[in-house]
Structure 1
Amino acid sequence: MQLVQIDMKLNLERMRAAITEWLIKEEMLGDAFFIDIDEWRARGETYGTDSLLVLVFDGSTLHTMLNLGCDTEEFDDLVESFGFWYELGHSWMGFYPIEDYDYSRLTGSYSTKLRDPRWAKKAALVKERAKESCQDCGVKQPLDAHHCYYTTMRQAYEPWEYPLSALRALCRPCHVRREQTEIRLRAFAASLTSDQLDALRPALSHATYWYETAAVFSFLSALGPEERHLQAAMQILRDARNEHD
């Protein structure tokens, strides 16, 4: 029993880290913060005092997501992936253990972990959300659930402990290609400063909001040192805008 409690506590800490990473990724961290249950009780709170951990989010965007009927599937799945469920208050949530959940860490190879029923459940959900089609090429062939990134070795998340947005349903050929492409992308990222990386994502997000993604990439590829290159690149965006209008 004591070993189970230790394993549960370790999972709780890893879930805390995973939720924090997810909130940062989704730009919803704001003033949200975790409170250990002893501190929560010491504050004189009357609700959630039997939980294991509390997350407070008074003014965070997370408050809007949870209280105004937004889609919480990814967040709910992430919490469940670590063996917990949550009780939601107006500006807080308390986390509780799922009954009979196996909190012990699996040993063995990565391929062994991919045979765990918890990974099978997560992979099936990824494919279902993709409507059983490859998210890169659209074909309806046997699909893999691909991890688009892995977190720090320090946390050592299990394959099923990643958020749904970290996973992509791919056919076998696209899966092989994607892994090679992501290696090259990570190598490119290594050549950029942190400031450049911070600027890259919102810049691309902004551009692809107003123009088709293919047009944005064609525009960037057309840029060159001469005026004719600039004019050709600008024409790509003009054509894309006209097609959209």
Structure 2
Amino acid sequence: MDLGIAGKVALVAGGSKGMGRACADMLAAEGCRVVVVAREESAIASAVAAIDAAGGTAIGVSADLTSLDGIRSALAVAKEAFGAPDIVASQTNDFSTGRFMDADPAEYERIFRVFTLATIHLAREAIPSMRQRRWGRFIHIGSGTAKEPEASIPHILHNTVRPSTVAFLKTVADEVAADGVTVNTVAPGWISTEGSRAYLSAEGLDIRAVETSPEVSGGIPAGRVGHPNEIGGIVTFLASQQAAYITGEWIIVDGGKHRSAL
């Protein structure tokens, strides 16, 4: 299937590793000119080299997308190299945990800046040019905890702010839909990435058994944790011409773990 996005400019946040790397690889395979944004320069260089070796087109940018300055810097590099992004795959991450009475009140503000406010800044900077061109895709990689908080690990900080990001994007989707711009959230469950493995290890779970540990995969009908390509695939489809009528959605990809039918 031709997804109709060859030649589009795609900016991928966290595009050097894990789910972001899968998104960058798959968008490049569809002919997008990809801007890989992350912090670690060696990982960025590796991701760009792999895309180039596969016949794709990519550049890398080292920037902190939790800050407005970092966002503006990354977008400026993208515009100079390829033009304003037509597609943005948005994500930020943090692995802080804690229970209600243990979490420092200042951490709530910090986590809000990392997740919700960073997404607001990126959307405000990237979406206006999409509206002018009357075509755009803003796809946020969030978390299933936005709707069903994870019970097995104390996660009060993330459980508090994740829903606000989804609500923000749903509202933006309403405002820009008539301009040919779609805004959606992909909500991964447990995905086997370097970050998730490190996070689980810090929580005392057996990193060597991360794919089969009852604490992790127990309760997942698919009987396993997911692969980054399974997130990259849905993000790439949402970026396509065929997904033009899908907007304002929260799409969970978790092997069936989420129990709500709606």
Instruction: Give the TM-score taking structure 1 as reference length.
Output: 0.27
Query: Going by fraction, where is helix more abundant, 1 or 2?
Result: 1
Structure with greater contact order relative to length (CA < 8 Å, sep ≥ 6): 2
Q: Who wins on radius of gyration, i.e. which is larger? A: 1
